[in-house]
């Protein structure tokens, strides 16, 4: 697996970790309302969604890092499988996001474009 794919996988993992913090810990911050399309009155109702999505993103970040570690420790097939699956999953989920909530098109691009590039790099 190329160095570019491994570096991109780690960068995506870092971004997913930051998203975890925003979703699971800082979701009540007014500066994040536009990103999540929330209002102060919605926060209790969306807590379960934001916290669970945050942890989902953190475990996905862990899978990407584990994939890179596996590649680096001569377990290429296993590491590549984790990275390819995660990249494909996020590419698909970006499409679902923009279809289900067109207002989040920028979020969808930020999730889907790096994931699609990673998928292409990981499969080459």
User: How much is the pLDDT for 31?
Assistant: 83
* Contact (Cβ atoms closer than 8 angstroms) between residue 63 and residue 89: no
Domain count, the chain: 1
What number of H helices and E strands is found in the chain? 5, 0
User: How much is the pLDDT for 44?
Assistant: 76
CA distance 116 to 90: 8
User: How much is the pLDDT for 26?
Assistant: 83
Rg value, the chain, Cα: 15
pTM: 0.87
CA distance 73 to 35: 38
User: How much is the pLDDT for 5?
Assistant: 97
Q: Angle between the 43-72 and 3-20 helix axes, to the nearest 10 degrees?
A: 160
User: How much is the pLDDT for 30?
Assistant: 79
76: containing domain: 3-123
Running along the chain, 124 residues long, what does each successive block of 10 average in pLDDT?
96 95 82 75 76 90 98 96 96 94 90 96 94
CA distance 75 to 62: 17
| Token pair belonging to 30 | 């007014």
**Among 114, 122, 88, 111, CA closest to 5:** 122
């Amino acid at each position: 697996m190329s160095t570019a794919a491994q570096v991109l996988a780690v960068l995506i993992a870092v971004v997913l970790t930051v998203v975890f913090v925003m979703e699971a810990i800082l979701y009540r911050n007014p500066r994040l309302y536009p990103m999540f399309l929330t209002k102060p009155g919605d926060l209790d109702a969306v807590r379960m969604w934001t916290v669970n999505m945050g942890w989902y993103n953190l475990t996905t970040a862990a899978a990407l890092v584990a994939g890179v570690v596996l590649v680096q420790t001569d377990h290429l097939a296993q590491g590549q499988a984790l990275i390819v699956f995660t990249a494909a999953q996020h590419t698909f989920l970006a499409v679902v996001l923009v279809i289900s909530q067109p207002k989040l098109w920028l979020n969808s691009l930020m999730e889907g474009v790096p994931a699609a590039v990673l998928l292409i790099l990981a499969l080459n």
